[in-house]
Amino acid sequence: MSAVAAPSPAPHIPVLLEEVIDALAPASGAVIVDATFGAGGYSRRLLAAGATVHAFDRDPDAIAAGRLWPETREDPPRLVLHPRRFSEMVAALAEAGIASVDGVVMDIGVSSMQLDQPQRGFAFAANGPLDMRMGQDGPSAADFLNTAPDSEIADVLYKYGEERQSRRVARAIVAARPLSTTGELAAVIRKALGHRPGAPKDPATRSFQAIRIHVNAELEELESGLAAAEVLLRPGGQLAVVCFHSLEDRIVKQFLRAASGAVAGASRHQPQIAAAFAPTFSRLSKAIRPSEAELSANPRSRSATLRAATRTAAPARRAA
């Protein structure tokens, strides 16, 4: 495990921070779930507003850093850390005696802290072990790539990375086994796709994204987390979800559209059809994206999208 960093200043810049806080509208005494604690950028502002925060993170480094915060030692603590996946938030809060919350915020995907540590194996900017595990447990990227058949690898690259030449890349990966570092994997992908030095986007980017999503079951986790938030939020509670690519954002958009009671027609020429249940979310925001000022200050925010909604009093559509 890497060394624990001090909690302030934050090692990365939280994306769409002001917009997220506006959407959650935290009040003194509110109970809010930060489903993706990371470096605690959202939690810091929620605590400053007087809220109690239940923070989830499967990464033990993030939890260890959070335990240095003074709010964890208050009586009762206003920052409660849960070293668990956010899909488990209903069970975790039930164990803490909490049945409902005033807000849930999710920042989906890999954190800047993880990307910037070569030993975690998420990026190829610097060579590191082929790991990519957010929770630092279970099968790694190397385990998957060195054992899976090329057809399975190709399916992952196509589904989660939208890599059009997924079969070519998968065959190249299998031929180059065993792979143990991010540099080796990036070189194999570049060779398979005919990388031109100086091109605006490295062709390995799509495959690295796909493998990371698969290793961490990120999209399944997002779907389960959204269902859990629907169960936990009290009437009037706020949901805010920040995504960084279209696969995630599509899941959030479709979830909120269905939860609001609108079911798309069979074609774009047909009107939406009312659902057979009472809407569980209302006041859906439009897609909120970073301002020019934020893009200038934090280029990593360029692909971020925030969607927010308000929980109604209707029962959750299913248990989480």
Q: Are residues 180 and 154 in the same domain?
A: yes
Domain residue limits at 86 = 17-112+218-311
Q: Are residues 226 and 97 in the same domain?
A: yes
In a domain, 202, yes or no: yes
In a domain, 208, yes or no: yes
What is the structure's pLDDT at 309? 98
Query: Mean pLDDT for each consecutive 10-residue tract of the chain (320 residues)?
Result: 38 87 97 96 97 97 96 97 97 97 94 73 86 94 98 98 97 98 96 83 93 96 98 98 95 97 57 71 96 92 95 87
The secondary structure of 112-136 as a DSSP string is HHHHT-GGG---SSS--BS---TTS
**Among the three residues 215, 233, 263, which one is the final residue of a domain in this structure?**
215
**Among the three residues 215, 236, 255, which one is the final residue of a domain in this structure?**
215
**Among the three residues 163, 196, 215, which one is the final residue of a domain in this structure?**
215
What is the structure's pLDDT at 117? 75
Instruction: Give dist(CA 250, CA 93) in Å, integer.
Output: 28
What is the structure's pLDDT at 286? 95
The CATH number that applies at residue 172 is: 1.10.150.170
The secondary structure of 223-284 as a DSSP string is HHHHHHHHHHEEEEEEEEEEESSHHHHHHHHHHHHHHTTEE--SSTTSPPEE-SS--SEESP
How many other CB atoms are found less than 10 A from the CB of residue 138? Answer: 11
What is the structure's pLDDT at 13? 78
What is the structure's pLDDT at 195? 78
What is the structure's pLDDT at 196? 77
In a domain, 141, yes or no: yes
Overall number of domains in the chain:
2
Q: Are residues 269 and 208 in the same domain?
A: no
